[in-house]
Amino acid sequence: MMHASLRAIGMAVPARRIDNKHFETFIETTDEWIVSRTGIQTRYHAAEDEYTSDLCVRAVQDLASRYEGTLDDVDMIIVSTASPDQPMPGMACRVQYKMGLQKAAAFDLYAACAGFVYGIVVAKGLVAAGSHRKVLVIGGETLSKITDFTDRTSCVLFGDGAGAVLIEADPVGNIHGSVTGANGEGGIDLYISGMAPDIDGTPLNMNRCIVQNGRKVFKWAVNTAAEQYRKMLAENNLQPDDLTWYVPHSANLRIIEAISNETGFPLSKTLESVVDFGNTSSASIPLALCKGIRDGKLKSGDKVMLFGFGGGLTFAGIVITWP
Ligand code: UT7
């Protein structure tokens, strides 16, 4: 059986950097509240004519600039996003066309902030099944375009960005055991409205922006992350000391701290992207990995545990030996 290896990574964020003071000009908030409750200091917002597909393409170009092989034989592209340029065509098809990857199939995956890890799990499965050999998994978002800037509890949180990884067939494989799951009952706690006016009879705010019950999602995220951390260690036959880095979805620094309190895994061995980039949903884990590399933390041979959680509600985690 073929195994799957992660070979390369790339990222992109828009040029426009937004600090916390920016929000003080139009909603009742302070830099101090935002930092103390979320840890966020800056985030990036796309230009008016800049969309998710543009950031996804730039993340792949960044990956290509640091990858020694060719992307011409990529045979599958998976994009995770909750903020596509449009519902159809999929963002993966936009990447396929703009990057000239003529041999690649392409589809989008819809699992909100857990989508990037779901994408790695799917890519690993395709490679193991022998149907595909070279898969791009991309998490990309322009959440600023679906943010309600009159809602102070959510508008300060979100940022735009994209991250991409290349996964290849390999006799050994550096992508190990995973966990996946969903809690559809919590769908109402984090949503973006579309066609239906309600979920299970509960009316929605039809503003087509991100709406979340922050407190509820916070608690669910911490409990789920702690429980799945233990499960992933057991399934991968690892002790906590075997792990070099833990990389949870970067929704809020306080959530990351609370997970560390619950698991006992040290915060100093956790990688995040939320302080500089805000909550970038699908992009937050690859951005944290890229930041870890840039800061000289994440190195070849490190054992890394990724854990995504978000709207759906969904979660997915996986262990990787860093290439
Ligand atoms: O990415 C997908 C998964 N998403 C998440 O994991 C998000 C999970 N939730 C969170 O990160 C946090 O719940 C939030 C950051 C959304 C909110 O933080 P919190 O500490 O849970 O605050 P809260 O919603 O309980 O609000 C506390 C107070 C309220 O005032 P009162 O009712 O105590 O008077 C809010 O109105 O803070 C107020 N508040 C603000 N004050 C200043 C809420 N937003 C702001 C704001 N500036 N921007």
Q: Please give the pLDDT value at position 1.
A: 80
Domain boundaries, the chain: 3-172, 176-321
Per DSSP, 8 falls in state E
Domain 176-321: top CATH class: alpha beta
Contact by Cβ (8 Å): 215, 186: no
184 — pLDDT class (breaks 50, 70, 90): very high
Known active-site residue 279: yes
Provide residues with CB under 6 Å of ligand 1: 29, 33, 37-38, 113, 152-153, 156, 190, 212, 214-215, 217-218, 221, 251-252, 255, 279, 281, 310
Write down the CATH number for the domain with range 3-172: 3.40.47.10
Give me the DSSP letters along 257-318. Answer: HHHHHHH---GGGB---HHHH-B-GGGHHHHHHHHHHHTT-S-TT-EEEEEEEETTTEEEEE
pLDDT tens, residue by residue, 290-318: 999 999 999 999 999 999 999 999 999 99
pTM, two decimals, is 0.98
Q: Please give the pLDDT value at position 157.
A: 98
Q: Please give the pLDDT value at position 33.
A: 98
Distance CA 289, CA 9 (A): 8
pLDDT tens, residue by residue, 89-101: 999 999 999 999 9
Q: Please give the pLDDT value at position 129.
A: 97
Average pLDDT value for the chain: 98
Candidates 116, 153, 212, 252: which one to mutate for ligand 1, based on the most atoms within 8 Å of Cβ?
A: 153
Phi then psi dihedrals of residue 3, to 5 deg: -110, 175
257-278 mean pLDDT? 98
